[in-house]
Structure 1
Protein backbone atom coordinates (compact mmCIF):
# COMPACT_ATOMS: atom_id res chain seq x y z
CA UNK A 1 0.00 0.00 0.00
CA UNK A 2 1.32 3.41 -0.99
CA UNK A 3 -0.70 6.09 0.76
CA UNK A 4 1.75 8.89 -0.05
CA UNK A 5 1.71 8.16 -3.76
CA UNK A 6 -2.05 7.58 -3.88
CA UNK A 7 -2.74 10.86 -2.13
CA UNK A 8 -0.45 12.99 -4.27
CA UNK A 9 -1.66 16.45 -5.26
CA UNK A 10 -2.36 15.36 -8.83
CA UNK A 11 -4.41 12.35 -7.78
CA UNK A 12 -6.41 14.31 -5.22
CA UNK A 13 -7.16 17.00 -7.81
CA UNK A 14 -8.35 14.30 -10.22
CA UNK A 15 -10.60 12.80 -7.54
CA UNK A 16 -11.95 16.25 -6.72
CA UNK A 17 -12.93 16.69 -10.36
CA UNK A 18 -14.81 13.41 -10.12
CA UNK A 19 -16.54 14.56 -6.94
CA UNK A 20 -17.69 17.76 -8.65
CA UNK A 21 -19.12 15.70 -11.51
CA UNK A 22 -20.89 13.43 -9.02
CA UNK A 23 -22.44 16.41 -7.23
CA UNK A 24 -23.38 18.09 -10.52
CA UNK A 25 -25.14 15.02 -11.92
CA UNK A 26 -26.82 14.29 -8.58
CA UNK A 27 -28.00 17.90 -8.19
CA UNK A 28 -29.63 18.05 -11.62
CA UNK A 29 -31.16 14.59 -11.22
CA UNK A 30 -32.55 15.55 -7.79
CA UNK A 31 -34.21 18.71 -9.13
CA UNK A 32 -35.65 17.05 -12.23
CA UNK A 33 -36.78 13.88 -10.46
CA UNK A 34 -38.50 15.89 -7.73
CA UNK A 35 -40.43 17.96 -10.27
CA UNK A 36 -41.40 14.97 -12.41
CA UNK A 37 -42.05 12.72 -9.42
CA UNK A 38 -44.23 15.38 -7.82
CA UNK A 39 -46.27 15.73 -11.01
CA UNK A 40 -46.71 11.96 -11.32
CA UNK A 41 -47.57 11.59 -7.64
CA UNK A 42 -50.27 14.25 -7.86
CA UNK A 43 -51.75 12.61 -10.97
CA UNK A 44 -51.98 9.28 -9.17
CA UNK A 45 -53.41 10.92 -6.07
CA UNK A 46 -56.04 12.76 -8.11
CA UNK A 47 -57.27 9.42 -9.54
CA UNK A 48 -57.91 10.78 -13.01
CA UNK A 49 -59.61 7.85 -14.82
CA UNK A 50 -57.13 7.19 -17.66
CA UNK A 51 -54.10 9.30 -16.75
CA UNK A 52 -53.78 7.85 -13.24
CA UNK A 53 -53.88 4.26 -14.49
CA UNK A 54 -51.34 4.90 -17.25
CA UNK A 55 -49.08 6.70 -14.77
CA UNK A 56 -49.38 3.85 -12.27
CA UNK A 57 -48.35 1.30 -14.91
CA UNK A 58 -45.36 3.40 -15.99
CA UNK A 59 -44.24 4.06 -12.41
CA UNK A 60 -44.52 0.42 -11.32
CA UNK A 61 -42.66 -0.73 -14.43
CA UNK A 62 -39.76 1.64 -13.85
CA UNK A 63 -39.60 0.90 -10.11
CA UNK A 64 -39.16 -2.80 -10.83
CA UNK A 65 -36.34 -2.34 -13.34
CA UNK A 66 -32.64 -2.16 -12.35
CA UNK A 67 -31.24 1.35 -12.59
CA UNK A 68 -28.22 -0.03 -14.41
CA UNK A 69 -30.49 -1.43 -17.13
CA UNK A 70 -32.17 1.96 -17.57
CA UNK A 71 -28.79 3.72 -17.90
CA UNK A 72 -27.57 1.13 -20.42
CA UNK A 73 -30.78 1.42 -22.44
CA UNK A 74 -30.62 5.22 -22.62
CA UNK A 75 -26.93 5.30 -23.52
CA UNK A 76 -26.73 2.31 -25.87
CA UNK A 77 -30.23 1.64 -27.21
CA UNK A 78 -31.60 5.13 -27.80
CA UNK A 79 -28.87 5.97 -30.35
CA UNK A 80 -30.43 3.25 -32.53
CA UNK A 81 -33.44 5.60 -32.76
CA UNK A 82 -31.17 8.59 -33.49
CA UNK A 83 -31.48 9.85 -29.91
CA UNK A 84 -28.03 10.61 -28.54
CA UNK A 85 -27.76 12.23 -25.13
CA UNK A 86 -24.05 11.81 -24.47
CA UNK A 87 -22.52 10.33 -21.35
CA UNK A 88 -23.57 13.06 -18.92
CA UNK A 89 -27.03 13.40 -20.45
CA UNK A 90 -27.59 9.63 -20.33
CA UNK A 91 -26.55 9.47 -16.68
CA UNK A 92 -28.79 12.37 -15.66
CA UNK A 93 -31.73 11.05 -17.67
CA UNK A 94 -31.43 7.53 -16.30
CA UNK A 95 -31.16 8.71 -12.71
CA UNK A 96 -34.03 11.16 -13.19
CA UNK A 97 -36.40 8.58 -14.65
CA UNK A 98 -35.66 6.01 -11.96
CA UNK A 99 -35.76 8.41 -9.02
CA UNK A 100 -38.88 10.19 -10.30
CA UNK A 101 -40.73 6.87 -10.16
CA UNK A 102 -39.53 6.32 -6.59
CA UNK A 103 -40.38 9.85 -5.49
CA UNK A 104 -43.84 9.70 -7.05
CA UNK A 105 -44.74 6.91 -4.62
CA UNK A 106 -43.40 8.87 -1.66
CA UNK A 107 -45.36 11.94 -2.71
CA UNK A 108 -48.55 9.97 -3.38
CA UNK A 109 -48.29 8.33 0.05
CA UNK A 110 -47.67 11.70 1.68
CA UNK A 111 -50.75 13.18 0.04
CA UNK A 112 -52.86 10.19 1.07
CA UNK A 113 -51.72 10.63 4.68
CA UNK A 114 -53.71 13.86 5.03
CA UNK A 115 -56.99 13.28 6.83
CA UNK A 116 -60.01 13.25 4.53
CA UNK A 117 -61.93 15.42 7.00
CA UNK A 118 -59.66 18.37 6.30
CA UNK A 119 -60.22 18.01 2.58
CA UNK A 120 -63.99 17.76 2.98
CA UNK A 121 -64.03 20.79 5.25
CA UNK A 122 -62.03 22.83 2.74
CA UNK A 123 -64.27 21.83 -0.16
CA UNK A 124 -67.44 22.52 1.82
CA UNK A 125 -66.17 26.02 2.62
CA UNK A 126 -66.11 26.81 -1.10
CA UNK A 127 -62.44 26.12 -1.96
CA UNK A 128 -61.70 24.55 -5.31
CA UNK A 129 -59.70 21.33 -5.68
CA UNK A 130 -56.60 23.30 -6.71
CA UNK A 131 -56.98 25.71 -3.77
CA UNK A 132 -57.42 22.77 -1.41
CA UNK A 133 -54.23 21.17 -2.74
CA UNK A 134 -52.30 24.43 -2.55
CA UNK A 135 -53.39 25.67 0.88
CA UNK A 136 -54.44 22.55 2.82
CA UNK A 137 -52.97 19.31 1.49
CA UNK A 138 -49.53 20.15 0.05
CA UNK A 139 -48.19 22.25 2.98
CA UNK A 140 -48.91 19.46 5.46
CA UNK A 141 -47.92 16.61 3.15
CA UNK A 142 -44.59 18.19 2.22
CA UNK A 143 -43.55 18.38 5.87
CA UNK A 144 -44.28 14.69 6.28
CA UNK A 145 -42.54 13.78 3.03
CA UNK A 146 -39.27 15.60 3.67
CA UNK A 147 -37.49 12.79 5.62
CA UNK A 148 -38.19 9.99 3.09
CA UNK A 149 -37.46 12.34 0.19
CA UNK A 150 -34.06 13.23 1.68
CA UNK A 151 -33.37 9.51 2.17
CA UNK A 152 -34.19 8.93 -1.49
CA UNK A 153 -31.82 11.71 -2.47
CA UNK A 154 -29.09 9.95 -0.50
CA UNK A 155 -29.73 6.82 -2.55
CA UNK A 156 -29.58 8.88 -5.73
CA UNK A 157 -26.20 10.31 -4.77
CA UNK A 158 -24.82 6.82 -4.21
CA UNK A 159 -26.39 5.55 -7.41
CA UNK A 160 -24.35 8.02 -9.46
CA UNK A 161 -21.47 5.55 -9.09
CA UNK A 162 -23.36 3.16 -11.39
CA UNK A 163 -22.80 5.58 -14.25
CA UNK A 164 -19.16 4.59 -14.24
CA UNK A 165 -20.19 1.74 -16.57
CA UNK A 166 -20.81 4.29 -19.34
CA UNK A 167 -17.55 6.06 -18.50
CA UNK A 168 -19.06 9.05 -16.71
CA UNK A 169 -16.05 10.84 -15.15
CA UNK A 170 -17.56 10.86 -11.66
CA UNK A 171 -15.88 10.07 -8.35
CA UNK A 172 -15.80 6.28 -8.64
CA UNK A 173 -14.64 6.39 -12.25
CA UNK A 174 -11.78 8.75 -11.44
CA UNK A 175 -10.85 6.65 -8.44
CA UNK A 176 -10.51 3.63 -10.70
CA UNK A 177 -8.37 5.73 -13.03
CA UNK A 178 -6.01 6.57 -10.17
CA UNK A 179 -5.42 3.06 -8.87
CA UNK A 180 -5.13 1.71 -12.40
CA UNK A 181 -1.71 3.42 -12.46
CA UNK A 182 -0.38 1.45 -9.52
CA UNK A 183 -1.78 -1.63 -7.81
CA UNK A 184 -0.50 -0.27 -4.49
CA UNK A 185 -3.02 2.57 -4.73
CA UNK A 186 -6.09 0.30 -4.61
CA UNK A 187 -6.70 0.17 -0.85
CA UNK A 188 -5.79 3.82 -0.14
CA UNK A 189 -8.07 5.05 -2.94
CA UNK A 190 -10.97 2.84 -1.90
CA UNK A 191 -10.61 4.00 1.70
CA UNK A 192 -10.67 7.62 0.58
CA UNK A 193 -13.68 7.06 -1.69
CA UNK A 194 -15.52 5.33 1.14
CA UNK A 195 -14.75 8.24 3.46
CA UNK A 196 -15.99 10.82 0.95
CA UNK A 197 -19.25 8.97 0.29
CA UNK A 198 -19.74 8.38 4.00
CA UNK A 199 -19.24 12.02 4.99
CA UNK A 200 -21.66 13.31 2.34
CA UNK A 201 -24.36 10.71 2.86
CA UNK A 202 -24.09 10.67 6.65
CA UNK A 203 -24.48 14.44 6.70
CA UNK A 204 -27.63 14.13 4.60
CA UNK A 205 -28.93 11.34 6.82
CA UNK A 206 -28.48 13.56 9.88
CA UNK A 207 -30.55 16.22 8.14
CA UNK A 208 -33.24 13.63 7.40
CA UNK A 209 -33.30 12.43 11.01
CA UNK A 210 -33.52 15.97 12.35
CA UNK A 211 -36.40 16.76 10.01
CA UNK A 212 -38.14 13.54 10.99
CA UNK A 213 -37.76 14.32 14.69
CA UNK A 214 -39.11 17.82 14.15
CA UNK A 215 -42.10 16.45 12.24
CA UNK A 216 -42.86 13.97 15.04
CA UNK A 217 -42.77 16.76 17.61
CA UNK A 218 -45.05 18.91 15.47
CA UNK A 219 -47.47 16.00 15.04
CA UNK A 220 -47.60 15.33 18.77
CA UNK A 221 -48.06 19.02 19.50
CA UNK A 222 -50.89 19.49 17.04
CA UNK A 223 -52.51 16.32 18.25
CA UNK A 224 -52.44 17.10 21.95
CA UNK A 225 -52.38 20.87 22.43
CA UNK A 226 -55.60 22.79 21.99
CA UNK A 227 -55.68 26.46 21.00
CA UNK A 228 -56.33 28.86 23.87
CA UNK A 229 -59.81 29.79 22.64
CA UNK A 230 -60.80 26.12 22.45
CA UNK A 231 -59.56 25.54 25.98
CA UNK A 232 -61.59 28.50 27.21
CA UNK A 233 -64.66 27.23 25.45
CA UNK A 234 -64.27 23.80 27.07
CA UNK A 235 -63.78 25.33 30.50
CA UNK A 236 -66.82 27.57 30.04
Structure 2
Protein backbone atom coordinates (compact mmCIF):
# COMPACT_ATOMS: atom_id res chain seq x y z
CA UNK A 1 0.00 0.00 0.00
CA UNK A 2 2.89 2.36 0.74
CA UNK A 3 4.11 1.80 -2.81
CA UNK A 4 0.74 2.84 -4.26
CA UNK A 5 0.37 5.91 -2.05
CA UNK A 6 2.34 8.30 -4.35
CA UNK A 7 0.22 7.19 -7.33
CA UNK A 8 -3.06 7.97 -5.58
CA UNK A 9 -1.67 11.32 -4.42
CA UNK A 10 -0.34 12.34 -7.84
CA UNK A 11 -3.12 11.06 -10.08
CA UNK A 12 -5.61 13.80 -9.33
CA UNK A 13 -7.78 15.73 -11.77
CA UNK A 14 -5.85 18.97 -11.18
CA UNK A 15 -2.51 17.30 -11.87
CA UNK A 16 -3.83 15.65 -15.02
CA UNK A 17 -5.14 19.00 -16.24
CA UNK A 18 -1.77 20.60 -15.50
CA UNK A 19 0.08 17.89 -17.41
CA UNK A 20 -2.34 18.13 -20.32
CA UNK A 21 -1.78 21.90 -20.47
CA UNK A 22 1.94 21.24 -20.75
CA UNK A 23 1.37 18.54 -23.35
CA UNK A 24 -0.73 21.00 -25.33
CA UNK A 25 2.27 23.34 -25.47
CA UNK A 26 4.48 20.41 -26.50
CA UNK A 27 2.16 19.49 -29.37
CA UNK A 28 1.76 23.13 -30.45
CA UNK A 29 5.51 23.72 -30.59
CA UNK A 30 6.07 20.38 -32.34
CA UNK A 31 3.30 20.95 -34.92
CA UNK A 32 4.50 24.44 -35.90
CA UNK A 33 8.13 23.28 -36.01
CA UNK A 34 7.22 20.24 -38.13
CA UNK A 35 5.36 22.38 -40.66
CA UNK A 36 8.06 25.04 -40.91
CA UNK A 37 10.97 22.58 -40.99
CA UNK A 38 9.25 20.48 -43.68
CA UNK A 39 8.76 23.52 -45.91
CA UNK A 40 12.25 24.95 -45.33
CA UNK A 41 13.98 21.56 -45.34
CA UNK A 42 12.17 20.57 -48.52
CA UNK A 43 13.29 23.75 -50.26
CA UNK A 44 16.90 23.41 -49.10
CA UNK A 45 17.04 19.70 -49.95
CA UNK A 46 15.66 20.33 -53.44
CA UNK A 47 18.07 23.21 -54.08
CA UNK A 48 20.98 21.03 -52.97
CA UNK A 49 19.79 18.25 -55.27
CA UNK A 50 19.58 20.69 -58.19
CA UNK A 51 23.30 21.51 -57.73
CA UNK A 52 22.95 25.21 -58.46
CA UNK A 53 26.40 26.85 -58.63
CA UNK A 54 27.33 28.76 -55.45
CA UNK A 55 23.86 28.31 -53.89
CA UNK A 56 24.01 24.52 -53.44
CA UNK A 57 27.56 24.45 -51.97
CA UNK A 58 26.68 27.24 -49.51
CA UNK A 59 23.55 25.39 -48.42
CA UNK A 60 25.58 22.20 -48.04
CA UNK A 61 28.00 23.95 -45.66
CA UNK A 62 25.12 25.44 -43.67
CA UNK A 63 23.32 22.09 -43.37
CA UNK A 64 26.43 20.24 -42.27
CA UNK A 65 27.24 22.89 -39.66
CA UNK A 66 23.76 22.77 -38.15
CA UNK A 67 23.50 18.97 -38.25
CA UNK A 68 26.72 18.66 -36.27
CA UNK A 69 25.69 21.07 -33.52
CA UNK A 70 23.84 19.93 -30.37
CA UNK A 71 20.19 20.98 -30.46
CA UNK A 72 20.55 22.19 -26.88
CA UNK A 73 23.21 24.67 -28.00
CA UNK A 74 20.90 26.00 -30.72
CA UNK A 75 18.11 26.46 -28.18
CA UNK A 76 20.47 28.35 -25.86
CA UNK A 77 21.66 30.49 -28.77
CA UNK A 78 18.10 31.37 -29.86
CA UNK A 79 16.99 32.40 -26.38
CA UNK A 80 20.13 33.79 -24.73
CA UNK A 81 22.54 34.86 -27.50
CA UNK A 82 20.25 36.44 -30.10
CA UNK A 83 18.98 39.13 -27.66
CA UNK A 84 22.58 40.30 -27.39
CA UNK A 85 22.42 41.36 -31.05
CA UNK A 86 18.95 42.85 -30.77
CA UNK A 87 16.82 39.81 -31.69
CA UNK A 88 14.56 39.02 -28.75
CA UNK A 89 12.02 36.21 -28.73
CA UNK A 90 9.69 34.95 -26.06
CA UNK A 91 10.21 31.38 -24.85
CA UNK A 92 7.79 29.58 -27.17
CA UNK A 93 9.00 31.45 -30.25
CA UNK A 94 12.64 30.78 -29.38
CA UNK A 95 11.91 27.06 -28.94
CA UNK A 96 10.10 26.89 -32.30
CA UNK A 97 12.88 28.80 -34.05
CA UNK A 98 15.61 26.55 -32.64
CA UNK A 99 13.74 23.33 -33.44
CA UNK A 100 12.88 24.56 -36.94
CA UNK A 101 16.50 25.43 -37.74
CA UNK A 102 17.81 22.09 -36.49
CA UNK A 103 15.09 19.91 -38.02
CA UNK A 104 15.21 21.78 -41.36
CA UNK A 105 18.84 20.75 -41.72
CA UNK A 106 18.02 17.13 -40.85
CA UNK A 107 15.07 17.00 -43.25
CA UNK A 108 17.03 18.72 -46.03
CA UNK A 109 19.54 15.88 -45.96
CA UNK A 110 16.77 13.24 -45.93
CA UNK A 111 15.04 14.87 -48.91
CA UNK A 112 18.27 15.34 -50.85
CA UNK A 113 19.20 11.70 -50.28
CA UNK A 114 15.72 10.59 -51.31
CA UNK A 115 15.91 12.54 -54.55
CA UNK A 116 19.41 11.23 -55.25
CA UNK A 117 18.17 7.67 -54.83
CA UNK A 118 16.14 7.96 -58.06
CA UNK A 119 18.04 6.85 -61.15
CA UNK A 120 19.43 9.70 -63.25
CA UNK A 121 17.92 8.10 -66.34
CA UNK A 122 14.50 9.20 -65.06
CA UNK A 123 15.50 12.84 -65.51
CA UNK A 124 16.86 12.20 -68.97
CA UNK A 125 13.67 10.37 -69.95
CA UNK A 126 11.53 13.22 -68.68
CA UNK A 127 13.54 15.85 -70.52
CA UNK A 128 13.49 13.75 -73.68
CA UNK A 129 9.68 13.63 -73.53
CA UNK A 130 9.54 17.43 -73.59
CA UNK A 131 9.18 18.20 -69.89
CA UNK A 132 11.14 21.03 -68.30
CA UNK A 133 13.54 20.27 -65.44
CA UNK A 134 11.01 21.55 -62.88
CA UNK A 135 8.21 19.48 -64.41
CA UNK A 136 10.41 16.40 -64.45
CA UNK A 137 11.24 16.94 -60.81
CA UNK A 138 7.61 17.54 -59.85
CA UNK A 139 5.86 14.81 -61.85
CA UNK A 140 8.49 12.07 -62.12
CA UNK A 141 11.24 12.34 -59.49
CA UNK A 142 9.36 13.62 -56.42
CA UNK A 143 6.49 11.07 -56.47
CA UNK A 144 8.97 8.19 -56.61
CA UNK A 145 11.34 9.69 -54.05
CA UNK A 146 8.48 10.39 -51.64
CA UNK A 147 7.86 6.66 -51.19
CA UNK A 148 11.42 6.23 -49.96
CA UNK A 149 11.42 9.40 -47.87
CA UNK A 150 8.27 8.77 -45.82
CA UNK A 151 9.80 6.44 -43.16
CA UNK A 152 12.84 8.63 -42.34
CA UNK A 153 10.78 11.84 -42.47
CA UNK A 154 8.22 10.49 -40.00
CA UNK A 155 11.04 9.18 -37.80
CA UNK A 156 12.48 12.68 -37.80
CA UNK A 157 9.09 14.14 -36.85
CA UNK A 158 8.91 11.69 -33.94
CA UNK A 159 12.39 12.78 -32.85
CA UNK A 160 11.30 16.42 -33.09
CA UNK A 161 8.34 15.79 -30.78
CA UNK A 162 10.66 14.21 -28.22
CA UNK A 163 13.25 16.96 -28.69
CA UNK A 164 10.76 19.61 -27.58
CA UNK A 165 11.53 18.44 -24.02
CA UNK A 166 15.00 19.98 -24.34
CA UNK A 167 13.36 23.41 -24.31
CA UNK A 168 12.76 22.88 -20.59
CA UNK A 169 16.18 24.50 -20.14
CA UNK A 170 14.64 27.85 -21.16
CA UNK A 171 11.54 27.17 -19.02
CA UNK A 172 9.18 26.36 -21.88
CA UNK A 173 5.94 25.39 -20.06
CA UNK A 174 5.68 22.03 -21.86
CA UNK A 175 4.88 18.55 -20.56
CA UNK A 176 8.30 17.92 -19.01
CA UNK A 177 8.35 21.35 -17.37
CA UNK A 178 4.94 20.85 -15.77
CA UNK A 179 5.85 17.32 -14.76
CA UNK A 180 8.95 18.62 -12.98
CA UNK A 181 6.83 21.11 -11.05
CA UNK A 182 4.60 18.28 -9.81
CA UNK A 183 7.30 15.82 -8.78
CA UNK A 184 9.39 18.58 -7.21
CA UNK A 185 6.80 18.64 -4.43
CA UNK A 186 7.84 15.20 -3.20
CA UNK A 187 10.57 12.78 -4.32
CA UNK A 188 8.16 9.81 -4.30
CA UNK A 189 6.14 11.53 -7.06
CA UNK A 190 8.91 11.09 -9.64
CA UNK A 191 7.95 7.57 -10.76
CA UNK A 192 4.19 8.10 -11.18
CA UNK A 193 4.69 11.43 -12.97
CA UNK A 194 7.33 9.97 -15.31
CA UNK A 195 5.03 7.05 -16.11
CA UNK A 196 2.15 9.28 -17.17
CA UNK A 197 4.48 11.56 -19.20
CA UNK A 198 5.97 8.52 -20.94
CA UNK A 199 2.49 7.28 -21.84
CA UNK A 200 1.56 10.66 -23.34
CA UNK A 201 4.68 10.76 -25.50
CA UNK A 202 4.23 7.11 -26.50
CA UNK A 203 0.61 7.48 -27.61
CA UNK A 204 1.35 10.38 -29.97
CA UNK A 205 4.59 8.93 -31.33
CA UNK A 206 3.04 5.52 -31.87
CA UNK A 207 0.14 7.15 -33.71
CA UNK A 208 2.64 8.90 -35.99
CA UNK A 209 4.38 5.60 -36.73
CA UNK A 210 1.01 4.02 -37.64
CA UNK A 211 0.28 6.91 -40.01
CA UNK A 212 3.67 6.36 -41.63
CA UNK A 213 2.92 2.67 -42.17
CA UNK A 214 -0.44 3.48 -43.76
CA UNK A 215 1.18 6.01 -46.09
CA UNK A 216 3.82 3.45 -47.08
CA UNK A 217 1.13 0.90 -47.89
CA UNK A 218 -0.81 3.42 -50.00
CA UNK A 219 2.32 4.31 -51.93
CA UNK A 220 3.02 0.66 -52.83
Q: Give TM-score scaled by structure 2 length.
A: 0.94
Q: Which residue pairs with 1:169 in the alignment?
A: 173
Q: Which residue of 2 aligns with 1:42?
A: 46
1:78 aligns with 2:95: no
1:21 aligns with 2:20: no
On the 8 A contact 1:147/1:211 being kept in 2, the answer is: no
- Further displaced range: 64-73 or 194-203: 194-203
Is 1:184 matched up with 2:188?
A: yes
Deviation sequence 1:162-210 (CA, Å, 0-9, x none): 0000000000000001111222211110111111112221222233344
Q: Normalised by the size of structure 1, how large is the TM-score?
A: 0.88
Note if contact 1:62-1:98 (Cα within 8 Å) is conserved in structure 2.
yes
CA distance in 1, matches of 2:122, 2:207: 35
Alignment match, 1:146: 150
> Structure 2: how far apart are the matches of 1:133 and 1:118?
9
How many residue pairs match? The answer is 216
1:222 corresponds to? none
Using the alignment, how far apart are the partners of 2:123 and 2:137 within structure 1? Answer: 9
| Deviation per residue, 1:204-236 (Å, 9 max, x gap) | 223334444555xx3xxxxxxxxxxxxxxxxxx
CA distance in structure 2 between the partners assigned to 1:211 and 1:9 by the alignment: 37
User: Secondary structure at the residue paired with 1:127?
Assistant: coil
Deviations along 1:84-142, whole A, 9 cap, x unmatched?
11100110000000000000011001111112122101101211111111111112212
Question: Which residue of structure 1 aligns with residue 211 of structure 2?
Answer: 207
Counterparts of 1:161 and 1:172, CA distance in 2: 6
Q: CA–CA distance in 2 between the matches of 1:65 and 1:98?
A: 8
Q: How far apart, in 2, do the equivalents of 1:121 and 1:29 lie?
A: 37
Larger radius of gyration: 1
Corresponding residue SS for 1:2:
helix
**Which residue does the alignment assign to 2:9?**
5
Runs (5+) with no aligned partner, structure 1: 219-236
- RMSD, aligned CA: 1.3
| Candidates 88, 103, 108, aligned match of 1:104 | 108
